[in-house]
Amino acid sequence: MPANTPTAVVTGAASGIGRALAEALHAKGTHLVLVDIDGDALAATATAATGLTTLHSGRSARSSTHQLIERNHVPDAR
């Protein structure tokens, strides 16, 4: 992944608005980190694209996202 490729963390990425947002960002070339509590649906979302990182989480989206950012050293995460 080129250094200037933007990265986005999308919570609730397995369905609905989260999935639609993930698909739109992926179409623009954004590297995605997808988070959801529904592991099967998250896997289905991820198989449709390349360049994704996923986190199946049974925890709150906020704590999972912070954990993921720390583990993957996501730059400029806010």
Tens-place pLDDT, residues 32-57: 888 888 888 888 888 876 667 776 66
Q: What is the dihedral of CA 33, 36, 40, 43, to 10 degrees?
A: -10
Q: Kindly indicate the confidence band of residue 4, based on its pLDDT and cuts at 50, 70 and 90.
A: confident
Name the H helices within 28-60: 39-47
Environment class of residue 32 by beta-carbon count within 10 Å: exposed (0-12), middle (13-18) or buried (19+)? buried
pTM flag (> 0.75): no
Cβ neighbours, 10 Å, residue 64: 19
Kindly report the average pLDDT of the chain as a whole number. Answer: 77
